[in-house]
Structure 1
Amino acid sequence: MEAHSFGALNYVALIVYLAAIMAVGVYFAKRQKSSDDYFKAGGRIPGWAAGISVFATTLSSITFMSIPAKAYTGDWTFLVGQYMAIAVLPVVFWFYIPFFRKLNLTSVYEYLERRFDVKMRLFGSISFMLFHIGRISIIIYLTALALMPFVDISPLTIVFLIGVLCIVYTFMGGIEGVIWTDVIQGIMLSIAAILIFTMICFNVDGGMFKIFSFAAEHDKYFPADKFAWSWTDSTVPVLCIGFFFAALQQFTASQDVVQRYIVTDNIEETKKALITNAKLVACVPIFFFAVGTALYVYYIQNPELLPADFNTGGILPFYVISQMPAGIAGIIIAAVFAASQSSISSSLNSISACFTSDIYEKLSDNPSSEQKLKVGRLLTVIAGVLGVCASTYLIYSNESEIWDAFNSLLGLMGGPMTGLFMLGIFVKRANALGALFGVVASVVTVVCLRQFTDLNFFFYGVFGTIVVVIVGYIMSLFSAQPKSQHTVELTVGR
């Protein structure tokens, strides 16, 4: 399929967006006087802004494009998974937020050394950094791959616009710049979803009523067979369990989200952040699924507009470029860029926070705040360059099926990490030996499940978490009990 001409108005819209994002980075650069400013924003972030930032961080451009594609080819079953980010909030509110704010951590993995030992801290921190460098490269790669067939922009230009500019504004603005650009990007994502759906409704014969009635007639919402239990298929019960544990990992053991708990002035603002995120999660994903269903009805009514043998994974950018007015299409493509950059910038700042706190401070002799700021900025550049280079390699090597493989590895890393924090926070008897055996047993379990069974990958994080807690507790019984004074500060409950 030939790429469509992007057009002058679309270029103007995209350039205006990119310039605005860079301006935010430049504006907040002058506030970055210390490592606390760079990684914690000096507690200056209001709760509502932190909440939009969490939403934008967890919604990548791949989600932005893949949800409509999934609703186009299938149904709305995966929508239930989006709401698991709301279901975990009572646990996060009651236990984790007060706990993390009390400890005043720069890197969440500092806790693992205080509770267990330095090995667990390094395991958590290094795993996070490697995973997120990979995540950066794949988000850039898949965004470029999705846009290349539809716009006359070279893949390297797409990589540069997404990756390199993201490195620059993250380098300058720190977490404060990242969060305020996330606010812009999160608003753009939400408006884009609503705008696309609204415009499709005007182009479908019968409008919105026809879209929803047609979808109901063709069982495009929640088919009855998707409510059955399965160990292999992504049915509703499987999605609820899998997404719940994935959300638990994000909100309790992942630096990029947990870092938002300490950028506000007080605990009430932190809770307000997650309430804001919950409101967005409750509303915006519905529009993404509705867009996919609306596109399905639109192309059923206008089959001649869809090329033969079309790859439906790119249905959203195809519609945007081929059917939406010039200028508006540019804004939507800018929203795709925004979805990428919001996830990438958060990963970059979190990687630099982890390296500076967990590795540089351990190896250096009491570094000053200014030294830590310089190292943090340097790591932002290094991590970003590694991600951009990896994405460039993926483009030229024409890799395929990499996103599914990467998603399945999330259980390998996410499950043990979630379980490790759960073990430390809730099991007073747990100690370093138990944590070590628990993590090893968890990783081995998930690898075996992945290699030797047909188990749905949504279960990897579930089993990974449970194994850490159970094995960690049992093995802790065979060695010395932690000092009671030590566990009082670093665990919850009596």
Structure 2
Amino acid sequence: MEMHAFGTLNYVVLLVYLTAIMLVGVYFARRQKSADDYFKAGGRIPGWAAGISVFATTLSSITFMSIPAKAYTGDWTFLIGQYVAILILPFVFMYYIPFFRKLNLTSAYEYLEKRFDVRMRLFASLSFMLFHIGRIAIITYLTALALIPFVDISPLTIVFLIGVLCIVYTFMGGIEGVIWTDVIQGIMLSVAAVLIFVMICFNVDGGMTEIFRMSAEADKYFPAEKFAWSWSDSTIPVLVIGFFFASLQQFTASQDVVQRYIVTDSLEETKKALITNAKLVAVIPVFFFAVGAALYAFYTQHAELLPANFNTGGILPFFVISQMPAGVAGLIIAAIFAASQSSISSSLNSISACFTSDIYHRLGKEHSPQKTLFVARAVTVSAGVFGVIASTYLIMSNESELWDAFNSLIGLMGGPMTGLFMLGVFVKRANANSALVGVIASVAAVLWVRSATDLNFFFYGVIGTLVVVAVGYITAPLFKGKSEDDIKEFTLQHQK
């Protein structure tokens, strides 16, 4: 495939973006006086900024590129998942956020110790940290891999720009720096999606009307066969169920999102964060799918512009580099960097929060705020370095299967983690030992389903969550738990 020169102007635009992100980290570094500042921003974050941060955190560079590719080659059915994520937010606000804010948690998994015991806290926290170290490596690697064919930047340089700069500004600015860079990056992602779509419209004969007509003619929106039930294919009913539990995991059991609930100064500001996120999720992903439809129309009309045997997974960066004006292309590539960095920086800070709260403080003696801040920053650097080293190894060896399998296996812990929170909040009779039995049964069930059946992967989270709740409920009478007074403020009954 032809390598397209990135060009001086595009380099300048990318450099300006990277410099601006670094300056944000430098600016907020002076506010990091304690671990509370580093992980909670002292409650100084407005709700709208926290909401944009949640949106940017959950949208990685792989999503930024894969959604248009999916719409280009397939259809729009995965758009359903975005709206399921919106519908779940009132449920999260009513039943989960009051616990997180009232308990003033640094790590979401502190709740699991208060409700059950330290074993459940450590299981969830370690699962989260391992998964996100793997996630950092995978996102960095796949971003570099996607850009290599289209820009004359070496893959190791891409890994350095994404990984090392994330480490630096997360190290300096803490969660406050992360959130305000997320705001910049979230705006960049949104503007880039709209800009790409508009520019393709001007290059398609017949414009926007023709784009949507061609997609309708090719039945690329919501094909009738996708409404059928299936155990193995990602049809619409499966997507609705799968995305419901995936969103539940993300918004109730994942530290990188839950941490955004405690950086504002009031419950009302947290509500604004969820509303802001919902507005962005309702609008921006539509443009990503529309970009895929526009690319389909453009390359159908201009098939000669597409190289033979082209890997359509890179259709978006290929169009950006080959068709967009210099400067604008640099801005879009910067947006891809932004999508990657917003996810990675959030992972770094949340890994640090989990280790500091769940391991360093919980299993050690009391430490001064200054020593805790030092450890928090050291963990940020360590996690980032592990991610960069792993990404570099993948680039050098050109082998991703092992890490993909690792990422998939650790990701299967999301269901059990979600089930633990659900069990704690909604099942008053559940206790620490019944929760442990539920987790063991859940992990075993998901691993068996994964290895012995062809069940669609969207069901893994469903099974993982429901088995914890069911087994935790059924086995509760077999074990002695905490007294009702000890758990009453950690269950739903107390909230009523």
Query: TM over 0.5: same fold?
Result: yes
Maintained 8 Å contact 2:135/2:407: no
Q: Name 1:292's counterpart in structure 2.
A: 292
Q: Name 1:259's counterpart in structure 2.
A: 259
| Alpha-carbon offset, residue 476 of structure 1 | 1.1
How far apart, in 2, do the equivalents of 1:78 and 1:361 lie? 41
Structure 1 gaps of 5+ residues are none
CA separation of 1:38 and 1:181: change in aligned 2, threshold 3 A: same
How far apart, in 2, do the equivalents of 1:244 and 1:411 lie? 16
- Letter aligned with residue 321 of structure 1: I
Q: Deviations over 1:68-122 (max 9, x none)?
A: 0000000001100111210111211111111110010000111111111111111
How far apart, in 2, do the equivalents of 1:125 and 1:349 lie? 14
CA separation of 1:469 and 1:181: change in aligned 2, threshold 3 A: same
Q: Deviations over 1:439-461 (max 9, x none)?
A: 00000000000000000000000
How far apart, in 2, do the equivalents of 1:98 and 1:362 lie? 23
Q: Name 1:87's counterpart in structure 2.
A: 87
CA separation of 1:39 and 1:358: change in aligned 2, threshold 3 A: same
Q: Name 1:169's counterpart in structure 2.
A: 169
SS where residue 220 of structure 2 aligns?
Answer: coil
Q: Name 1:101's counterpart in structure 2.
A: 101
Maintained 8 Å contact 1:411/1:461: no
| Alpha-carbon offset, residue 411 of structure 1 | 5.3
How far apart, in 2, do the equivalents of 1:128 and 1:287 lie? 31
How far apart, in 2, do the equivalents of 1:408 and 1:449 lie? 14
Q: Name 1:33's counterpart in structure 2.
A: 33
Maintained 8 Å contact 1:410/1:461: no
Q: Deviations over 1:256-275 (max 9, x none)?
A: 00000000000000010010
Q: Name 1:368's counterpart in structure 2.
A: 368
Maintained 8 Å contact 1:56/1:185: yes
- Letter aligned with residue 123 of structure 1: F
How far apart, in 2, do the equivalents of 1:346 and 1:63 lie? 16
Q: Name 1:148's counterpart in structure 2.
A: 148
Q: CA RMSD in A?
A: 1.1
- Letter aligned with residue 108 of structure 1: A
Q: Name 1:181's counterpart in structure 2.
A: 181
- Letter aligned with residue 14 of structure 1: L
| Alpha-carbon offset, residue 365 of structure 1 | 1.4
- Letter aligned with residue 114 of structure 2: R
How far apart, in 2, do the equivalents of 1:113 and 1:484 lie? 15
CA separation of 1:198 and 1:403: change in aligned 2, threshold 3 A: farther
How far apart, in 2, do the equivalents of 1:109 and 1:22 lie? 31
Q: Name 2:472's counterpart in structure 1.
A: 472
How far apart, in 2, do the equivalents of 1:25 and 1:407 lie? 29
Q: Name 1:462's counterpart in structure 2.
A: 462
TM-score for the superposition, normalised by structure 2 = 0.98
Asked whether 1:315 is paired with 2:315, we answer yes
How far apart, in 1, do the equivalents of 2:24 and 2:116 lie? 40
| Alpha-carbon offset, residue 426 of structure 1 | 1.0
| Alpha-carbon offset, residue 482 of structure 1 | 2.6
How far apart, in 1, do the equivalents of 2:455 and 2:475 lie? 27
How far apart, in 2, do the equivalents of 1:392 and 1:488 lie? 49
Q: Name 1:271's counterpart in structure 2.
A: 271
Q: Name 1:202's counterpart in structure 2.
A: 202
Maintained 8 Å contact 1:426/1:492: yes
SS where residue 265 of structure 1 aligns?
Answer: coil
Maintained 8 Å contact 1:14/1:331: yes
Q: Name 2:357's counterpart in structure 1.
A: 357
Q: Which moved more, 1:387-396 or 1:447-456?
A: 387-396
How far apart, in 2, do the equivalents of 1:60 and 1:395 lie? 19
How far apart, in 1, do the equivalents of 2:223 and 2:399 lie? 34
Q: Deviations over 1:362-395 (max 9, x none)?
A: 2321111111111000000000000010111111
| Alpha-carbon offset, residue 406 of structure 1 | 6.1
Which residues of 2 match residues 235-254 of structure 1 at below 5 A?
235-254=235-254
| Alpha-carbon offset, residue 398 of structure 1 | 1.3
Maintained 8 Å contact 1:434/1:471: yes
Q: Name 2:281's counterpart in structure 1.
A: 281
Asked whether 1:346 is paired with 2:346, we answer yes
Maintained 8 Å contact 2:131/2:407: no
How far apart, in 2, do the equivalents of 1:326 and 1:94 lie? 48
How far apart, in 1, do the equivalents of 2:362 and 2:152 lie? 48
Q: Name 1:57's counterpart in structure 2.
A: 57
SS where residue 442 of structure 1 aligns?
Answer: helix
Asked whether 1:414 is paired with 2:414, we answer yes
Maintained 8 Å contact 2:432/2:481: no
| Alpha-carbon offset, residue 158 of structure 1 | 0.0
Q: Deviations over 1:27-48 (max 9, x none)?
A: 0000000100000000000000
Q: Name 2:325's counterpart in structure 1.
A: 325
SS where residue 76 of structure 1 aligns?
Answer: coil
Which residues of 2 match residues 104-115 of structure 1 at below 5 A?
104-115=104-115
How far apart, in 2, do the equivalents of 1:469 and 1:147 lie? 43
Q: Name 1:133's counterpart in structure 2.
A: 133
Q: Name 1:399's counterpart in structure 2.
A: 399
Structure 2 gaps of 5+ residues are none
How far apart, in 2, do the equivalents of 1:249 and 1:163 lie? 26
Maintained 8 Å contact 1:185/1:342: yes
Q: Deviations over 1:178-226 (max 9, x none)?
A: 0000000000000000000000000000000000111111101000000
Q: Deviations over 1:340-369 (max 9, x none)?
A: 000000000000000000000123211111
How far apart, in 1, do the equivalents of 2:362 and 2:288 lie? 45
- Letter aligned with residue 417 of structure 1: M
| Alpha-carbon offset, residue 410 of structure 1 | 6.1
| Alpha-carbon offset, residue 399 of structure 1 | 2.3
* Structure 1 residue ranges (4+ consecutive) displaced by more than 2 angstroms after TM superposition: 399-411
- Letter aligned with residue 164 of structure 2: V
Percent identical residues? 78
| Alpha-carbon offset, residue 162 of structure 1 | 0.3
- Letter aligned with residue 485 of structure 1: D
- Letter aligned with residue 306 of structure 1: L
| Alpha-carbon offset, residue 306 of structure 1 | 0.2
SS where residue 478 of structure 2 aligns?
Answer: coil
Asked whether 1:219 is paired with 2:216, we answer no
TM-score for the superposition, normalised by structure 1 = 0.99
Maintained 8 Å contact 2:51/2:272: yes
